[in-house]
Chain A
Amino acid sequence: MKFDAPATTNPIDQLKVVGQPVDRIDGPLKTTGTARYAYERHDAVPNAAYGYVVGSAIAKGRIKSIDVAAAKAALGVLAIVTAENAGKLEKGRLNTAKLLGGPEIQHYHQAIAVVVAETFEQARDAGQMLRVDYDREQGSFDLRGGMDTAKPAGITAGPPDTAVGNFGSAFAAAPVQLDETYTTPDESHAMMEPHASTAAWDGDKLTIWTSNQMIAWGVGEVAKTLNMPKENVRLISPFVGGGFGAKLFVRSDAILAALGARAAGRPVKVTLQRALVINNTTHRPATIQRIRIGTTRDGKITAVGHESWSGDLTGGKPDGAVSQTRMLYAGADRMTATRLAALDLPESNAMRAPGEATGMMALEIAMDEMAERLGMDPIEFRILNDTQVVPDVASKPPSQDPQAINNREAQSPSKDKPFSQRQLVQCFRTGAERFGWDKRIAQPGQVRDGRWLVGIGVASAFRNNQLTKSAARVRLETDGTVTVETDMTDIGTGSYTIIGQTAAEMMGVPLQKVAVRLGDSSFPISSGSGGQWGGNNSTAGVYAACVKLREMVAQKLGFNSAEAAFSDGEVRAGNRAVPLADAARDGSLSAEDAIEYGDLDKKFQQSTFGAHFVEVVVDAATAEIRVRRMLAVCAAGRILNPKTARSQVIGAMTMGVGAALMEELVVDKRVGFFVNHDLASYEVPVHADIPHQDMIFLDETDPMSSPMKAKGVAELGICGVAAAVANAVYNATGVRVRDYPVTLDKLIAKLPAVG
């Protein structure tokens, strides 16, 4: 189905099932431990051996030799695979470094071997027996040191640099100016389930039960890496214990499980130990961001400039921290620039809202600072500079071919393109009332509650909505139930549920009559999960398949498909009503289709908006910062399931608190690795850090996005949160911290004396 004209009324608008806050249909499986994850597929693979991945002890250099003798002779060891005996391996298109290193080493904990044994303990012990002799080389590990030699590099959402008007002279002429630099650290996805795969060969056919967000990409990557035809690769990933972008890509667990299984002549399962999740896989890169804003005396932005530096291995990509600055606020003269420094740290890549998450951390502090300089309320300052058209070059819609993700060329300018929907102002107004913003005292350090200094802060939320092709198969079974099959993944987001709701609404059956099967590469190719594109696109694909199935049913039952209504398990037109199941009396009916997009997203900028409100308290003595309450107001198209969508947003808010207050992969700039590579030392929020969260979805349907009229929401929730926290800390203390995370050591020296 081609979606190339704005959506009109369709069966989804009935909202009998879609739009309802139903419980997630996979919930009982998860709460009873019967949802099987990639490392637990004893049902499918009863005899898997265990693979243990050994990571490089150096960040850069070469392996001179690996002595495997002791490991090979160890109890229970079945096989050891290193680059020496793995055969020729290609690098995946979506990987920057090789998944099996050697002799060249590209980063710390790059996999250099997998040891396969009868038990996990045997494999791990033998893995620690490898004697590896390295030639170390000095690498570059310091982003600040790499700034001078950093090069322009395109971001996923467009060209590296943009310029409108003459920023330099407009900024110089602006009566009120801000020129500040902000930094954000490297961050780990820290999802609960580490990367894990179980691989089994049947002749030259390979099946990998894995934990992956993008099944079709994964098939292509496995096939390319192992030099085999795609047809011989099957990926199965029905449950994913969190991904946040870490599992967009095939990582060493999958490839080494496959190689280990081939070498051992037996299925092998591999999970990455947490240290390897952090240094072996991808992470969100650190950024240094310079922001300049010039305004008139009454607060109109006349010039805005945003430059960002981040680092990656050679061949990698920069963080897209400047992308929202091209779209969020008005201002005639503007520039953005993106520079990439070559670093020898583990490869960086997407993490929840890549680009906007880091960009908003900086931009939204800058807006708060600017409002203060102007003596304006930060909400009023933002509202004054709202724009209903894109003021700069907007983001490019993603390619229809998921395999081409790395090949997006720079796009043509899209200045003055209108937004399909933009309720930023309404988000602020609604939130201000609910949160009690009017009680804020603009002058910082004024509110005290016992030992606590109290402050509130606000920030915009912004994230683009991306359209991408998505297919599904829908089958009317002979018993009148409906089965949906698509390779879409549910990474904890609620995909099972909203897909079930879509099919139920379309086919006029209760949700209980719909079976949803996901995450198998033998199913039609979906959008997959990432970039907050999964919800809208995957359900739109199911919608397309359902439209086709409805036509088949109508034809079978002798209805005119344009007139037939599907509800309560029946098909009706005029006075005639026939049970839906009758259509499958002679055998099940199956329809497959995909949603494909025209150029609506070229004519209209599709983005999601929100406002974050945060109250923090800061211990007047210790400078410990604790969040007291949070509110997010989101305008993100139709909310397909308010319950699962709310979970996504409050989870994202939690992650935003982590980014604000504690998350930091600490780089040892001598050795070149992330030092705090476990969950005891890489701190993420615990329950005690998140006492109260509130959230509101504004009513919105976006006919430009898809027949579902929905957009993404799961990443919107994180964008801006950290800045709202940092702004609240400023309001509480009068100390402006521009280097995340905002920790007590950055405040304490500037707090008033105790007692």
Chain B
Amino acid sequence: MKPFTYERANSPAQAAASASRVDGAKFVAGGTNLLDLMKLQIETPKHLIDVNGLGLDKIEETAEGGLRIGALVRNTDLASDKRVRKDFAVLSRALVAGANGQLRNQATTAGNLLQRTRCPYFYDTNQPCNKRQPGSGCGALQGFNRSHAIVGASDACIAVHPSDMAVAMRLLDAKVETVRADGAVRSIPIADFHRLPGDTPQVETALGAGELITSVTLPKPLGGAHFYRKVRDRASFAFALVSVAAVVQRDGSGRVALGGVAHKPWRVEAAEQKMPQGAKAVTAELLAGAKPTEQNAFKVAVVERTLGAVLAEAKG
């Protein structure tokens, strides 16, 4: 950990302004990801802006019948909110499938969206990693990549985004609300929020420098049956090899999003047209152009079979 200065911000605008004023500043929320990375000097912020006191910890109903989730709402609180459990069950299920109880008590909505990859080469500063040190190469590409991306990757990086929550939010077409240093606010559709690695895997989201997430909004409920199936080697406290989030309507139509397969939560709207035709058809389109490695080729089968099981269960 490098020495850093610390500030407790009092308002979202002030936090964003401080961030743009001080070079190398970072927000800290639950700290469950950022502090680990600072200890390993993978992140080396010179200034930390604590956003825990911004009052962004409420879940409110929106005029459109959806929910506005404050950026600082803890994963546990979000997962157990009655409205979320009733109308957005897929989100609740995704959250409780993540990490463990202690971490979820501490982890925040914004922090979860912005957590960084678990690629082991990213975590070992002796190894090349384009995400950590642009231009140094990718340790995983020819190395250990069993848990890496099968779709949307590049020659520069094949890491996956590790979040469960974000997969459900992608399924629900959430929007990420932000404020910038100049006070300007914007609303970023979650589809555009996370990026594919391309040649710049170090750039992971659409956020500008110093841009603060204030909330995530969910549009009005979709109804239907909600599923979040997380496939992993051990029964709990493990990142997804693959996860499948789905909402299935009575008529067999629905939505599906995947975790553990790409640099971002993976959803292909066009593939959803195939839902009535079954998992094979949907998967073919969802993972069209997939380029798995020898070690992670099994993920294709996991996606198709897990989706198949979900669709079968939805049919009852």
What is the interface of chain A, defined by CB distance below 8 A to chain B? 57-58, 75, 121, 124-125, 128, 275, 451, 619-624, 626, 661-662, 666, 668, 670-671, 675-678, 680-681, 683, 685-689, 741, 743-745, 748-749, 751, 754-755
In the bound assembly, the distance between CA atoms of A751 and B238 in angstroms comes to: 23
Number of interface residues of B (CB under 8 A): 41
What is the interface of chain B, defined by CB distance below 8 A to chain A? 1-3, 39, 41, 118, 120-121, 123-127, 139, 142-144, 146, 229, 231-239, 241, 278-279, 298, 301-302, 304-306, 308-309, 311-312
Chain A residues positioned under 8 Å from B278 (CB to CB) = 755
Contact B233 A661 (CB under 8 A): yes
Q: Shortest distance in angstroms between A48's beta carbon and chain B's nearest beta carbon?
A: 20
Contact B236 A621 (CB under 8 A): no
> Which one of B41, B306, B311, B312 lies within 8 Å of A622 (CB-CB)?
B306
Contact A687 B238 (CB under 8 A): no
Interface of A, helix, strand, loop or mixed by DSSP: loop
In the bound assembly, the distance between CA atoms of A418 and B39 in angstroms comes to: 57
Chain A residues positioned under 8 Å from B309 (CB to CB) = 451, 619-622, 754-755
Chain A residues positioned under 8 Å from B231 (CB to CB) = 622, 624, 744
Q: Shortest distance in angstroms between B242's beta carbon and chain A's nearest beta carbon?
A: 8
> Which one of A662, A671, A680, A744 lies within 8 Å of B302 (CB-CB)?
A744
Task: Give 10 pairs: A residue, B residue, CB < 8 Å, sorted on A.
Answer: A275-B124, A622-B229, A622-B231, A623-B305, A668-B143, A668-B144, A677-B124, A745-B298, A754-B308, A754-B309
In the bound assembly, the distance between CA atoms of A675 and B39 in angstroms comes to: 19
Known: A121-B1, A670-B142, A754-B305. A624 touches B232 (CB 8 A): yes
In the bound assembly, the distance between CA atoms of A555 and B94 in angstroms comes to: 74
Chain B residues positioned under 8 Å from A662 (CB to CB) = 233-234
Chain A residues positioned under 8 Å from B229 (CB to CB) = 622
Contact B235 A626 (CB under 8 A): yes
Contact B41 A675 (CB under 8 A): no
Contact B1 A671 (CB under 8 A): no
In the bound assembly, the distance between CA atoms of A620 and B229 in angstroms comes to: 14
Contact B1 A124 (CB under 8 A): yes
Please name the 7 residue pairs, one residue from A and one from B, whose CB atoms are nearest each other, closest first: A621-B309, A688-B235, A754-B308, A745-B298, A57-B126, A688-B236, A621-B305
Contact A686 B234 (CB under 8 A): yes
Known: A121-B1, A677-B124, A748-B305. A755 touches B312 (CB 8 A): yes
Contact B234 A661 (CB under 8 A): yes
In the bound assembly, the distance between CA atoms of A620 and B301 in angstroms comes to: 12
Contact A686 B298 (CB under 8 A): no
Chain A residues positioned under 8 Å from B124 (CB to CB) = 275, 675, 677
In the bound assembly, the distance between CA atoms of A124 and B2 in angstroms comes to: 9
Chain B residues positioned under 8 Å from A75 (CB to CB) = 3
Which residue in chain B gives the minimum CB-CB distance to A669?
B143
Contact B144 A666 (CB under 8 A): yes
Contact B118 A686 (CB under 8 A): no
In the bound assembly, the distance between CA atoms of A749 and B300 in angstroms comes to: 10
Q: Shortest distance in angstroms between A214's beta carbon and chain B's nearest beta carbon?
A: 31
In the bound assembly, the distance between CA atoms of A748 and B123 in angstroms comes to: 29
> Which one of A57, A670, A680, A683 lies within 8 Å of B143 (CB-CB)?
A670
In the bound assembly, the distance between CA atoms of A670 and B128 in angstroms comes to: 13
Interface core residue of B41, B144, B239, B278 (most chain A CB under 10 Å):
B144
Given contacts A124-B1, A661-B233, 7 further A-B contacts (CB under 8 A): A75-B3, A124-B39, A621-B309, A670-B143, A671-B127, A671-B143, A686-B236
Contact A754 B127 (CB under 8 A): no
Contact A754 B312 (CB under 8 A): yes
Known: A676-B144, A748-B302. A683 touches B234 (CB 8 A): yes
Chain A residues positioned under 8 Å from B118 (CB to CB) = 680-681
In the bound assembly, the distance between CA atoms of A688 and B97 in angstroms comes to: 12
In the bound assembly, the distance between CA atoms of A132 and B108 in angstroms comes to: 39
In the bound assembly, the distance between CA atoms of A561 and B60 in angstroms comes to: 83
In the bound assembly, the distance between CA atoms of A75 and B1 in angstroms comes to: 13
Chain A residues positioned under 8 Å from B139 (CB to CB) = 668, 671
Chain B residues positioned under 8 Å from A668 (CB to CB) = 139, 143-144
Contact A125 B2 (CB under 8 A): yes
Chain A residues positioned under 8 Å from B301 (CB to CB) = 748-749
Q: Shortest distance in angstroms between A650's beta carbon and chain B's nearest beta carbon?
A: 17
In the bound assembly, the distance between CA atoms of A689 and B232 in angstroms comes to: 12
Chain B residues positioned under 8 Å from A666 (CB to CB) = 144, 146
Q: Shortest distance in angstroms between B30's beta carbon and chain A's nearest beta carbon?
A: 16
Q: Shortest distance in angstroms between A132's beta carbon and chain B's nearest beta carbon?
A: 10
Contact A755 B143 (CB under 8 A): no
Q: Shortest distance in angstroms between B287's beta carbon and chain A's nearest beta carbon?
A: 15
> Which one of B3, B234, B235, B298 lies within 8 Å of A749 (CB-CB)?
B298
In the bound assembly, the distance between CA atoms of A203 and B301 in angstroms comes to: 66
Which residue in chain A gives the minimum CB-CB distance to B239?
A680
Chain B residues positioned under 8 Å from A125 (CB to CB) = 1-3, 41
In the bound assembly, the distance between CA atoms of A675 and B41 in angstroms comes to: 18
Q: Shortest distance in angstroms between B145's beta carbon and chain A's nearest beta carbon?
A: 10
Interface core residue of A75, A661, A678, A751 (most chain B CB under 10 Å):
A678
In the bound assembly, the distance between CA atoms of A90 and B265 in angstroms comes to: 54
Chain A residues positioned under 8 Å from B298 (CB to CB) = 744-745, 748-749
Interface core residue of B41, B118, B309, B311 (most chain A CB under 10 Å):
B309
Chain B residues positioned under 8 Å from A451 (CB to CB) = 309
